[in-house]
Structure 1
Amino acid sequence: MGRIDETKDFIPVRVAVLTVSDTRTAAEDRSGDTLVERLTAAGHVLAARGIVRDERAEIAARLRAWIADPEVDVILTTGGTGLTGRDVTVEAHRDVYEKEIEAFGTVFTIVSMQKIGTSAVQSRACGGVAGGTYLFALPGSPGACRDAWDEILVWQLDYRHRPCNFVEIFPRLEEHKRRK
Structure 2
Amino acid sequence: MSSPSTTEHKKGAERSYSFYLVTVSTSRFEEYGSVTSPDEADDGSGKLMRDLVLSKGHTVAKYELVPDDDSLIKGSVHRAIESDADIIVTSGGTGLASKDVTIESLVPLFEKEIPGFGELFRHKSIAQIGTSVILTRAAAGLLRGKVLFCLPGSPSAVELALSEIILPEAGHLVKHARQ
TM-score (norm 2): 0.85
> Distance in 1 between the 2:157 and 2:13 partners?
29
SS in 2 for 1:129: strand
SS in 2 for 1:23: helix
> Distance in 2 between the 1:12 and 1:48 partners?
15
Query: Cα RMSD over matched residues?
Result: 1.8
* Counterpart contact for 1:13–1:44, Cα < 8 Å: yes
Alignment-derived partner of residue 168 in structure 1: 175
User: Does the C-alpha gap of structure 1 residues 118 and 59 become closer, same or farther in structure 2, counting only changes over 3 Å?
Assistant: same
> Distance in 1 between the 2:142 and 2:92 partners?
19
Residue deviations 1:76-103 (CA, integer Å, cap 9, x gap): 0000000000000011111321111111
2:60 maps to 1:53: no
Alignment-derived partner of residue 13 in structure 1: 17
Residue deviations 1:4-30 (CA, integer Å, cap 9, x gap): 88x868411110000000111443210
User: Does the C-alpha gap of structure 1 residues 22 and 103 become closer, same or farther in structure 2, counting only changes over 3 Å?
Assistant: same
> Distance in 1 between the 2:166 and 2:58 partners?
12
SS in 2 for 1:166: helix
* Counterpart contact for 1:63–1:96, Cα < 8 Å: no
Q: By how many angstroms is 1:110 displaced? A: 0.3
Residue deviations 1:27-81 (CA, integer Å, cap 9, x gap): 3210011010000000111001010000011101111121122x11110000000
Q: Aligned pairs, how many?
A: 164
> Distance in 2 between the 1:130 and 1:154 partners?
18
* Counterpart contact for 1:105–1:124, Cα < 8 Å: yes
Aligned counterpart for 2:103 among listed residues 90, 94, 108: 90
Q: Can you give the 5+ residue segments of structure 2 that lack an aligned partner in the other structure?
A: 33-39
Q: Can you give the 5+ residue segments of structure 1 that lack an aligned partner in the other structure?
A: 160-164, 173-180
2:48 maps to 1:34: yes
User: Does the C-alpha gap of structure 1 residues 9 and 137 become closer, same or farther in structure 2, counting only changes over 3 Å?
Assistant: closer
Q: Which amino acid aligns with 1:98?
A: E
User: Does the C-alpha gap of structure 1 residues 93 and 9 become closer, same or farther in structure 2, counting only changes over 3 Å?
Assistant: closer
TM-score (norm 1): 0.85
Alignment-derived partner of residue 35 in structure 2: none
User: Does the C-alpha gap of structure 1 residues 61 and 9 become closer, same or farther in structure 2, counting only changes over 3 Å?
Assistant: closer
> Distance in 1 between the 2:13 and 2:74 partners?
34
Q: Which amino acid aligns with 1:89?
A: T
SS in 1 for 2:100: coil
User: Does the C-alpha gap of structure 1 residues 44 and 23 become closer, same or farther in structure 2, counting only changes over 3 Å?
Assistant: same
